């Protein structure tokens, strides 16, 4: 039943707008990625495009500080949820025509970076405007460093007048899969998550707690980074936060929709 709820709840104008805005040349790829993004039925006939895949934005001079983190997260999503994922994340430039095939983008870094050209910023704006989701993860090890400064400049250019603000404790993000009360990563440099809302949905989420650092595991199965101050419990909370972010991007606010309650109650009353 959970899979059916995800599919029903994800039907909304923001996702339809995303498909229309991506362009005819990319429509097939976007539909495939988005259908899997909302937990649709497995469609092996169309291969890897039926799988949910992370895409990390590649910017000049900004290497991936946690190259194994998204791969590990993809594995955990398969293990803990009904979403099928591609194990290897994509690395994509904003100028790449395939950008709109990836509704879930990740920008991670541990240093200052130069802003992309205006044409690339416009493409990122279009991606977000038509339903895309952007997760920004700082691996600097502290709040307010060079990466943070560059991120805020980028967001100011991409979404003028829509600066990131604290995500309130009452937001559905905190219960999209797990019930959470914090936003830890490898560290707790900031006690809060920030986000940008568009059309009543979180389109951008920003953490300065090095979420990827808590998730990364090497080829021998060993954790790559110590998690402080909370150790294994904090690492588990970081995984739960990451999965909540993915499930929110898939389903938005279905857990706040009263329309599902009657259906659930009627289903529970059906004879077995």
110 half-sphere exposure, CB direction, 13 A CA radius: 13
Task: Look at residue 6 and tell me whether its pLDDT is greater than 60.
Answer: no
Reading the block at residue 174, the tokens are: 């905190």
Calculate mean pLDDT across residues 246-251: 94
In whole angstroms, give the CA distance from residue 246 to residue 119: 28
pLDDT tops 60 at residue 39: no
Q: Which is more confident, 240 or 270?
A: 240
The per-residue b/e assignment along 167-179, b for 16 or more CB within 10 angstroms, e otherwise, is beeebbbbebbee
- As a whole number of angstroms, the distance between CA 36 and CA 31 comes to 9
Collapsing DSSP to helix, strand or coil, 56 comes out as strand
Instruction: Using a pLDDT cut of 90, give the percent of the chain over it.
Output: 72
In tens, the pLDDT along 176-214 reads: 999 999 999 999 999 999 999 998 899 999 999 999 999
> pLDDT band at 50, cuts 50/70/90?
confident
Which strand ranges, in their side-by-side order, compose the sheet holding 55-57?
90-92, 55-57, 104-109, 133-138, 201-207, 194-198, 165-166
Residue 8 scores a pLDDT above 90? no
Query: What does the angle CA 23 – CA 86 – CA 252 come to, to the nearest 5 degrees?
Result: 60
Strands (E), 110-239: 133-138, 165-166, 194-198, 201-207
Mean pLDDT value of segment 5-32: 39
To the question of pTM greater than 0.85 for the whole model, the response is no
Over 90: is that where the pLDDT of 230 sits?
A: yes
The string of pLDDT tens digits covering residues 57-114 is 999 999 999 999 999 999 999 999 999 999 999 999 999 999 999 999 999 999 999 9
Strands (E), the chain: 55-57, 90-92, 104-109, 133-138, 165-166, 194-198, 201-207
């Amino acid at each position: 039943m959970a899979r059916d709820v995800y599919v029903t709840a994800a039907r909304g104008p923001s996702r339809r707008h995303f498909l229309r805005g991506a362009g005819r040349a990319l429509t097939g790829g976007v539909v495939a990625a988005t259908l899997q993004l909302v937990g649709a039925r497995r469609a092996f006939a169309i291969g890897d495009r039926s799988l949910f895949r992370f895409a990390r934005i590649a910017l000049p001079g900004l290497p991936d500080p946690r190259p194994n983190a998204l791969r590990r997260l993809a594995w955990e999503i398969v293990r803990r949820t009904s979403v099928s994922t591609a194990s290897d994340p994509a690395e994509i430039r904003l100028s790449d025509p395939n950008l709109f095939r990836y509704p879930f983008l990740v920008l991670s870094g541990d240093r200052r970076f130069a802003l992309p050209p205006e044409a690339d910023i416009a493409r990122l704006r279009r991606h977000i405007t038509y339903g895309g989701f952007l997760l920004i993860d700082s691996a600097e090890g502290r709040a307010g460093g060079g990466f943070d400064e560059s991120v805020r400049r980028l967001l100011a250019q991409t979404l003028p007048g829509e600066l990131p603000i604290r995500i309130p404790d009452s937001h559905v993000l905190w219960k999209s899969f797990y019930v959470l009360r914090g936003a830890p990563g490898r560290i707790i440099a900031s006690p809060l998550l920030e986000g940008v809302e568009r059309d009543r949905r979180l389109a951008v989420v920003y953490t300065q707690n090095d979420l990827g650092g808590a998730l990364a595991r090497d080829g021998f199965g060993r954790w790559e980074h110590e998690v402080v101050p909370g150790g294994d419990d904090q690492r588990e909370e970081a995984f739960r936060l990451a999965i909540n972010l993915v499930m929110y991007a898939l389903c938005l606010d279905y857990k706040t929709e009263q329309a599902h309650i009657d259906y659930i109650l009627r289903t529970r009353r059906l004879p077995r």
